[in-house]
């Protein structure tokens, strides 16, 4: 059975680092074919692509992923452009949790860093995360 981190088990202020991914020409080509979002400069990665990749990287930490029921909100800043060939990884820090009747809201501050440790993009994801007792079919 796939394990998940439920609302009750999310620890505020916990920091996690993800593995890294080198952003290639192939990522950019696939992404542009899918979305048609172009980059302002050809050697730069389209700005929403690192944001998409960071969510996937979040699944590659050793702890089980949060039982996300919905992505509620996003507040995001682009600090620096990422170039094709750069290697990005990310840091996640849970900054708040608020219980609701069904599940609860988790605010996760994500930072994308490049191979030199410079901040590339940063912001806050708000997720609706399931509570443990809701799990009946697992």
Partner 1 sequence: MVDPRRYFDEIELGEEYESPGRTVTEADIVMFAGLSGDYNVLHTDAEFMKQTIFGERIAHGLLCLAIQSGLFTRATAPYATLGFGGLRWKFKAPVKIGDTIRLRAKVVDKKGLDKPDRGQITLDRTILNQRDEVVQQGQTDLVVQKRP
Q: What is the dihedral sign for C-alpha 57, 58, 64, 67?
A: negative
Tell whether residue 15 is a contact of partner 1 (CB under 8 A).
no
Closest to partner 1 by CB, 14 or 71: 71
Minimum CB separation from partner 1 for residue 135, in Å? 12
Q: Tell me which of 11, 34, 42, 101 binds partner 1, using CB under 8 A.
A: 34
Name residues contacting partner 1, limited to 106-125 (CB under 8 A). Answer: 123
By beta-carbon proximity to partner 1, the closer residue of 13 and 73 is: 73
| DSSP for the chain, written as a single string | ----B-GGG--TT-EEE---EE--HHHHHHHHHHH-PPPSSTTBPPTHHHHHHHHHHGGGSSSPPB-EEEEEEEEEEE-SPPBTT-EEEEEEEEEEEEE-SSSEEEEEEEEEE-TTS-EEEEEEEEEEE--GGG----
Min separation Cβ 10 and partner 1, Å: 16
Contact segment (CB under 8 A) with partner 1 among 6-14, 53-61, 92-100, 105-113 equals 53-61
Contact set with partner 1 (CB under 8 A): 27, 30-31, 34-38, 40, 44, 46-49, 51-53, 55-57, 59-60, 65, 68-78, 81, 123, 137
């Amino acid at each position: 059975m796939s394990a998940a981190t439920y609302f009750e088990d999310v620890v505020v202020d916990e920091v996690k680092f993800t593995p890294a991914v080198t952003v290639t020409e192939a990522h950019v080509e696939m992404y542009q074919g899918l979305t048609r979002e172009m980059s302002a400069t050809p050697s730069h990665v389209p700005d929403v692509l690192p944001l998409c990749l960071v969510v996937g990287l979040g699944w590659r930490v050793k702890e089980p992923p949060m039982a996300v029921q919905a992505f509620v909100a996003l507040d995001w800043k682009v600090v620096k452009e990422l170039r094709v060939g750069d290697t990005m990884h990310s840091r996640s820090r849970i900054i708040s949790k608020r219980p609701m009747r069904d599940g609860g809201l988790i605010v996760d501050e994500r930072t994308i860093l490049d191979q030199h440790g410079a901040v590339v993009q940063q912001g806050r994801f708000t997720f609706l995360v399931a509570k443990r007792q809701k799990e009946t079919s697992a």
